[in-house]
Copies of this chain bind each other. A is one copy, B any other.
Amino acid sequence: MAGAITSRDVARLAGVSQATVSRVLHGSAGIAPETRSRVLAVVEQTGYQPNAAAISMRTRRTGTVGVVVGRVTNPFYPQVLDALGAELEPHGLRLILWDATTGPGERAAIEAIDQRRIDGLVFTTATASSPALQHAIDRRAPIVLVNRVVEGQPCDQVDSANEDTARRIARYFADHGHKRVGMITASADASTAAARSTGFTDEAADLGLHLDERHVLDGGFSHEGGRAALERMLDAGIEPPTAVFAVNDLSGFGALDAARAAGIAVPDDLWVVGYDDTEMASWEAFQLTTARQPIPEMVRIAVELLLARIAAPTRPPVHHRLPSEIVVRHSTAHAPVRA
């Protein structure tokens, strides 16, 4: 490692004061052009890099944002990370990543706010509110919830129309003649799972679809869970459903794989619908009909809200709810969704 060069070193080499170096680097007005270029030459030649700790000590800004994700191996989250990175980069912001499922990730992220290690935090996990999160929100910490809602909280939130879209999926099944349907859900602690389950269940009831309780199983948002859930449905000793709604794509892929292993033809004998429209949903191997979450848009808004919140901590919180579009693919025979 190069010995750390400070702005004072640069100042000495350029024959100016440290204050002048700082001003040059910030493009402040009132610097003689000749001085300016002399300083920049030294900066260039020495490869000077400002010390991040000192800057953040002085400015109380870190230029870093935290993000809490669920299991990062769930392909939904990499897409969020991808969008988030792209959204933050133009602002010169960095990203610290915490996994909510391993160890004290969520708590560590919240502590990082108080330690002034990050300027703000994006929560993307669809998990219930912990006391720590609740407390942080009460303290008006700069937090944005994406894809998770905590009703009535003084906190910026962005999600999509989970309940409404799930209702549309139930209607879609009914419109195309299905009578017995199933659902692969996930922990009700997750607001997304809860909203999607509720929407689907309620609309199914309204429409007179038969949703046997043995056809409502927890898939834990995972491939393995989705697969096991469909296997259990087929094995329940009653007539299996002809259409299944999985509350996320990953468990939907698991269901498709269970059907494939059991020799059940999709979509002839079984329709499967997922949620998220991850990239893989369009792969030939799955061709999964699913609800498209507008991830880039959600993330864009989330970043916008977070930066605004950091700039104006007392601004009233807002809640954005974006529409979700159903993308029809082969897992439901390309049958159209009613307008």
How many copies of the polypeptide does the oligomer hold? 2
Q: Which residues of B contact A49 (CB under 8 A)?
A: 111, 114-115
A73 in contact (CB, < 8 A): yes
Q: Which of B79, B108, B253 contacts A73 (CB 8 A)?
A: B79
Q: Which residues of B contact A50 (CB under 8 A)?
A: 115
A223 to B281, CA, bound (A): 12
Q: Which residues of B contact A140 (CB under 8 A)?
A: 1
Nearest-neighbour CB distance to chain B for A45, whole angstroms, equals: 14
Comparing A51-59, A160-168, A180-188, A198-206, the segment that makes contact with chain B is A51-59
Q: Which of B1, B116, B313 contacts A53 (CB 8 A)?
A: B116
A: interface residue count bin: 35 or more
8 A Cβ contacts from A46-104 to B: 47, 49-54, 56-57, 62, 64, 71-73, 75, 77-79, 81-82, 85-86, 89-90, 94-99, 102-104
Q: Which residues of B contact A311 (CB under 8 A)?
A: none
Given A47-B114, A96-B64, A284-B260: A82 and B78 interface contact (C-beta under 8 Å):
no
A117 to B227, CA, bound (A): 43
Determine the residue in chain B with the shortest Cβ distance to A81: B72
A53 near B57 with CB under 8 A, answer yes
A53 near B62 with CB under 8 A, answer yes
Q: Which residues of B contact A142 (CB under 8 A)?
A: 1
A172 in contact (CB, < 8 A): no
A52 near B116 with CB under 8 A, answer yes
Q: Which residues of B contact A98 (CB under 8 A)?
A: 85, 94-95
A227 to B284, CA, bound (A): 10
Nearest-neighbour CB distance to chain B for A329, whole angstroms, equals: 13
B116 near A4 with CB under 8 A, answer yes
A313 near B1 with CB under 8 A, answer yes
A47 to B93, CA, bound (A): 28
Determine the residue in chain B with the shortest Cβ distance to A104: B89
Given A85-B99, A94-B112, A257-B285: A279 and B141 interface contact (C-beta under 8 Å):
no
A139 in contact (CB, < 8 A): yes
Nearest-neighbour CB distance to chain B for A118, whole angstroms, equals: 9
A115 near B52 with CB under 8 A, answer yes
B116 near A283 with CB under 8 A, answer no
A29 in contact (CB, < 8 A): no
Nearest-neighbour CB distance to chain B for A56, whole angstroms, equals: 4
Q: Which residues of B contact A139 (CB under 8 A)?
A: 1-2
Q: Which of B82, B108, B260 contacts A99 (CB 8 A)?
A: B82
Determine the residue in chain B with the shortest Cβ distance to A50: B115
Nearest-neighbour CB distance to chain B for A97, whole angstroms, equals: 5
B102 near A85 with CB under 8 A, answer yes
A119 to B227, CA, bound (A): 42
Given A82-B99, A223-B283: A51 and B115 interface contact (C-beta under 8 Å):
yes
User: 12 pairs across A/B with beta carbons < 8 Å?
Assistant: A1-B141, A1-B313, A50-B115, A51-B57, A72-B85, A73-B279, A85-B105, A86-B102, A94-B112, A94-B117, A97-B97, A260-B284
